[in-house]
Amino acid sequence: MTKKLKYDFDPSLVSQVQTASKTWVRVPATTFRSWDGPRRIMNRETGEMEMWYGNIYLYGYNDRVEARHICNIRYPEDYVEPSSIKKSYGV
């Protein structure tokens, strides 16, 4: 069964991400929620773009990840389970 994706913001609002070359580009909500880099979203009341510091989710999943500031989408293959880290270091 596929779960519905969580959105910590209104996905109908204009959302932008900053690329590694410092260019702001408009992206769909699914990319925005998984972007590990600067993000901004339109304020509904003012129409101005505001920086967004919300959660980062793996693309296509509801698993939150810590920021690595890579200016790219966080895909599931980038994710390492904390328990597997413990095993690899013998903790």
User: In the prediction, which pLDDT does 91 show?
Assistant: 37
43 inside domain:
yes
Phi first, then psi: give them for residue 30, nearest 5 degrees: -65, -35
Tell me the pLDDT tens digit for each residue of 8-21. 999 999 999 999 99
Residue 81 in this model has a pLDDT that exceeds 60: no
Q: In what order do the strands lie in the sheet with 15-18?
A: 24-26, 15-18, 39-42, 49-51
Q: Which domain holds residue 61?
A: 15-88
8: left (phi over 0), alpha (psi -120 to 50) or beta: alpha
Q: Considering its fold, how many domains does the chain have in total?
A: 1
Structure tokens at 54: 């919300």
68 inside domain:
yes
9 inside domain:
no
